[in-house]
Amino acid sequence: DLITLDPAVAYEFSGILIVGNMYESLVSFNPGEAELVPVLANGWEVTEDGDMWTITFTLDPAATFASGNPVTAEDVAFSWTRAMEINKSPAFLLTDVCAMTPENIIPVDAGTLELKLPTTVSPQVCLAVLTFSTAAVLEKAAVEPNMGDDMGEAWLNDNSAGSGPYVLDRWDRSVSITLNANPDYWGGVVPAMKRVILQNTEEMANLQAAIETGDADIVQDLGSEQSAALAGNPDITLNSGLSTLLAYVGMNATKPPLDNPDVREAIRYAVNYEDIITLLGGNAQLVQEIIPIGFLGHTGNNPFSQDIDKAKELLAQAGVAEGTEIDFLVPTGTGPGGIEWPTLAAKLQADIEQTGLKLNIQQLQTSELLNIYRAQDGELVLMNWGPDFPDPDGNATPFANWDATSLAWRNDWNDPVAIEMSKAAAVELDPAKRTQMYAELVDYVQHNGPYVMLYQPTRVFGVRNNVQGFIYDPNDTPFVSFWLISKE
C-alpha cells in the first residue's frame, strides 16, 4: 500500500512504518509501553492561560539531522506548518484534533518551541497525536529548496531529510525499498542492521517460502495455514499480537443505491460474520464497531448476524430492484489477519448476492485503489484502518467526522449528528462521560454510517531465530522499530 514517503502525506501502514524509522518527532512511546517519552524534545511543560493551553517544548541540544545539522525549533515549526498547508489525509490530526494553526506554533529560540492550543482541546490527546508520523520533524534547509509545486513530496520520495536511525537509499515502486543505517545517528548506538530491505510479496505461499529458506529474516501477516505450517520449524519463531486494525467495507453514501440508509443496513445484515472469522482460522476477533478492543469507548456490541430475509425486506423497502449492480473495489495481496483480500471479497460477494444485489469485483493495487477511494469515487470498497494514536479519537474522528476529510469523507457520509458527537467526545476530559459519549457514537455509526465493520485481526510475524530485538507494538509509530533489531 506504499504511496509516498513524505511524512506529511504518508497515511498507509507501509508508509508509516518506513517514515517512522527515518524521521523522529518531539515525543514518542517506548516500543511495547504506553507512557510518553522524550525524543527530539527532552522535556515539555503544559500551562493554562485563560482559554488557551501552552505546551512549551525544550529541544534536546544533541539532536541532529542525518546531515549533521542541529534540530531546531524552526525546523519543527516548518514541518508542522508544511503538513497543514499540504492538507492531505493526515493533516486533520493537527488541524482538527489539536486545533493547531501555523500562528500558534512559536519558535521562541533555537531550542524552545511553544504550541498554543484552545482549552477545548485535550493537551494529552494532542501530545499523543504528536507521536504520529505526520508530526515528524524534517530539516527545513534540505526540504525548502526542493519544494516546487508539490511542496517537496516528489523530492522526499527519493531523498530523506530526517534525524532518525535510518536514511533512504532507494525506492523501487511496487517492488522494494532499501534503507541504510544513519552512521551519525545522534540518539545512541548506531543501528546494528546496516541495511534494511523491505520486499513487496503479495502471495502468501511466497511469504512462507521466503522465511523457511532464509531469503527473508522477518515476514509479516502470515495466514493461519502458513502459521500452522511454520509452528514446528526450529529455525523460526512466530510472533503474534492483536492489532488495532479494523477490516471493513466502505459504502459511498451518495452513490445510489447506497445513498439509502436502508440499503446500507441491508448489506450489514447480508454478511455471515461468523464464517469470516472461521475463514481467518482464529487470526481475528469479531468487531462490528469503529473503536477497537483495548481502547476506551469500545463497547463489545456486535448487533449484526446474517439475516437474508431481513436484508431483502430492507432492500424492498428502499425500492431496490433485484439484480441492481454495485462495483466492489478490492485490493490485491494479503489483508489483515493473513487472509488474501480476493478470498475475503469472494466470501462477501457470495453473502451479499443472496439478497439479489449483484457485486462487480474490481481488483486493484492498493495504491491505485486508495487514489480512487480518496477521490470519493468508490462504491463498495474493501479496506482496513488503524488508529494514528492510542486514543479513541484516532478512530472516531476519521470514521464519523466528514469535515476531517478521512474515512467519512472518502465514503461521502456527511452526517451532522455524527460530526458533532465525535467533536464533543474528543474534547471531553471526564473519562466516565467520555466513555459514554463514545458508546453512543459507536451505536449511531453502527446503524447509520457507511461501513460494514468486519473484524479486528491478529498480526502474525515469522522471525528467523538468528534475529533478535523484534518487537511488534500496534500503538507505536513505527509499529516495528528497525533500530532495535540485530542479527547473528
Question: 215 with 286, same domain?
Answer: no
Q: Is residue 1 part of a domain?
A: no
Q: Give the C-alpha separation, 130 to 80, whole Å.
A: 10
Residue pLDDT, tens place only, 265-288 = 999 999 999 999 999 998 999 999
Q: Is residue 373 part of a domain?
A: yes
Question: 199 with 223, same domain?
Answer: yes
Domain harbouring 85, CATH code: 3.90.76.10
- Which one has a higher pLDDT value, 330 or 205? 330
Q: Is residue 3 part of a domain?
A: no
Strands (E), 96-165: 105-109, 112-118
DSSP 175-216: TEEEEEE-TT-TTSSPPS-SEEEEE----HHHHHHHHHHTS-
Question: 45 with 140, same domain?
Answer: yes
Question: 19 with 139, same domain?
Answer: yes
Q: Give the C-alpha separation, 163 to 26, whole Å.
A: 11
Question: 166 with 30, same domain?
Answer: no
Give the model's pLDDT for residue 176.
95
Domain harbouring 432, CATH code: 3.10.105.10
* Average predicted confidence (pLDDT) for the chain: 95
Tell which residue, 176, 40, 200, 205, has the closest CA to residue 112: 40
- β-pairing verdict for 246-251 and 486-487: unpaired
Question: 174 with 43, same domain?
Answer: no
Number of domains in the chain: 3
Cis? peptide before 478, omega within 30° of 0: yes
Q: Is residue 415 part of a domain?
A: yes
Q: Give the C-alpha separation, 244 to 242, whole Å.
A: 7
- Out of 117-126, 290-299, 369-378, least confident range: 117-126
Q: Give the C-alpha separation, 31 to 214, whole Å.
A: 26
Domain that holds residue 343: 246-457
Residues in contact with 152: Cβ distance below 8 Å, sequence separation at least 6, in sequence order: 6, 82, 143, 144, 146
Give the model's pLDDT for residue 31.
66
**Of 125, 149, 173, which residue sits at a domain end?**
149
Are 401 and 408 within 8 A, CB to CB? yes
Question: 176 with 144, same domain?
Answer: no
pTM comes to 0.84
Amino acid at 350: A
In which band, very low, low, confident or very high, does the pLDDT at 107 lie, cut at 50, 70 and 90?
A: very high
State how far Cα 272 lies from the chain centre. Answer: 26
In which band, very low, low, confident or very high, does the pLDDT at 471 lie, cut at 50, 70 and 90?
A: very high
Q: Is residue 293 part of a domain?
A: yes
Tell which residue, 263, 273, 10, has the closest CA to residue 160: 10
Residue pLDDT, tens place only, 392-451 = 999 999 999 999 889 999 999 999 999 999 999 988 888 899 999 999 999 999 999 999
pLDDT reading at 120 higher than 90: no
Question: 274 with 228, same domain?
Answer: no
Q: Is residue 5 part of a domain?
A: no
Under DSSP, the state recorded for 260 is S
Give the model's pLDDT for residue 32.
63
The residue-averaged pLDDT of 137-157 equals: 97
Residue pLDDT, tens place only, 351-402 = 999 999 999 999 999 989 999 999 999 999 999 999 988 889 999 999 999 9
